[in-house]
Chain A
Amino acid sequence: MYKGLRRSVALLFTVMGGAAHGAYQLNLQEQQTRIGQDIFDLHTLILAIVAVIFVGVMGVMLYSIVNHRKTAGRQAVQFHENTTVEIIWTIIPFIILVAMAFPAAKTLLAMRDASHPDLTIKATGYQWKWGYDYLQDGVSFYSNLSTPRGQIENKDPKGEHYLLEVDNPIVVPTGKKIRILITANDVLHAWYVPALAVKQDAIPGFIREAWFKVERPGTFRGQCAELCGKDHGFMPIVVEAVEPEKYAQWVAEQKKKQAAAQLDPNKTFTLDELKAHGEKVYAQNCVACHQANGAGIPGAFPGLAGSKLVKGPKEAHIGIVINGKAGTAMAPFGKQLSDVDLAAVVTYERNAWGNNTGDLVQPGEIKALRK
Chain B
Amino acid sequence: MEAVHHLDHGHEHHPAGIMRWVTTTNHKDIGTLYLWFSFAMFMVGGVMALVIRAELFQPGLQIVQPEFFNQMTTLHGLIMVFGAIMPAFVGFANWQIPMMIGAPDMAFPRMNNWSFWLLPPAALLLVISLFVPGGAAAAGWTLYPPLTVQMGMGMDLTIFAVHILGMSSIMGSINIVTTVLNLRAPGMTLMKMPLFVWTWLITAYLLIAVMPVLAGAVTMTLTDRHFGTHFFNAAGGGDPVLFQHIFWFFGHPEVYIIILPGFGVVSQIIPAFSRKPLFGYASMVYATASIAILSFIVWAHHMYTVGMPVAGQLFFMFATMLIAVPTGVKVFNWLATMWKGSLTFEAPMLFALGFIFLFTTGGLTGIVLSIVPLDVQVHDTYYVVAHFHYTMVAGALFSAFGAVYFWLPKWTGKMYDEKLGKLHFWLSFIFFNLTFFVQHFLGLAGMPRRIPDYALQFAEFNAISSVGAFGFGLTQLLFFYIVLKCIRSGEKAPARPWEGADTLEWTLPSPAPYHSFETPPVVK
Chain A residues within 8 Å of B, Cβ to Cβ? 12, 15-16, 19, 22-29, 38-39, 42-43, 46-47, 50, 53-54, 57-58, 60-61, 64-65, 68-71, 74-82, 85-86, 89-90, 93-94, 97, 100-101, 104-105, 107-109, 111-112, 151-154, 158, 160-164, 186-188, 190, 192, 194, 197, 199-201, 203-206, 208-209, 221-234, 297, 299-300, 327-329
Contacts and interface: CB of A to CB of B under 8 A. Distances in A.
Contact of B279 (A80, A97, A199): A80
A204 B146 contact: yes
A53 B374 contact: no
Contacts of B454: 163, 233
A46 B325 contact: no
Nearest to A74: B342
Contact of A199 (B305, B325, B451, B461): B305
Nearest to A78: B276
Given A154-B61, A226-B144, 10 more contacts: A81-B281, A97-B324, A154-B62, A190-B305, A190-B380, A205-B239, A221-B455, A225-B381, A229-B67, A232-B450
Interface in B145-166: 145-147, 149-150, 152
Contacts of B133: 299
A229 B371 contact: no
Interface in B440-470: 441, 444-446, 448, 450-461, 463-464, 467
A16 B127 CA distance: 37
A152 B459 contact: no
12 contacts: A16-B460, A58-B357, A69-B343, A76-B500, A107-B373, A111-B372, A152-B60, A152-B61, A162-B456, A187-B145, A199-B379, A225-B380
B456 A158 contact: yes
Interface in B408-457: 441, 444-446, 448, 450-457
Given A93-B328, A229-B70, A299 B134 contact: yes
Contact of A70 (B61, B275, B381): B275
Interface in B375-401: 376-377, 379-381
A12 B138 CA distance: 34
B480 interface: no
Nearest to A236: B455
Contacts of A77: 276, 340-341
Contacts of B344: 69-71
B322 interface: yes
A57 B152 contact: no
B314 to A, nearest CB: 6
A111 B373 contact: yes
B150 A329 contact: yes
B281 A19 contact: no
Contact of A76 (B62, B150, B342, B376): B342
A46 B368 CA distance: 7
Interface stretch (B44-52, B292-300, B329-337): B329-337
Interface centre among A24, A71, A200 (most CB of B within 10 A): A24
A80 B281 contact: yes
Interface in B124-181: 133-135, 138-140, 144-147, 149-150, 152
A97 B325 contact: yes
A284 B523 CA distance: 74
Closest 7 CB pairs of A and B: A205-B234, A233-B451, A208-B307, A194-B446, A23-B457, A50-B364, A80-B277
B321 interface: yes
Interface residues of B, number: 105
Contacts of B322: 97
A153 B65 CA distance: 10
A148 to B, nearest CB: 12
Contacts, number: 309
Given A47-B368, A81-B280, A100-B321, A26 B342 contact: no
B377 A164 contact: no
B241 interface: yes
A91 to B, nearest CB: 9
A258 B255 CA distance: 51
A39 B377 CA distance: 9
A227 B139 contact: yes
Interface in B337-380: 337-345, 353, 356-357, 360-361, 364-365, 367-368, 371-374, 376-377, 379-380
B62 to A, nearest CB: 7
B318 interface: yes
A169 to B, nearest CB: 16
A337 B400 CA distance: 55
Nearest to A66: B343
Contact of A22 (B307, B451, B457): B457
Contact of B463 (A19, A109, A203, A226): A19
A127 to B, nearest CB: 9
Given A76-B340, A101-B317, A161 B67 contact: no
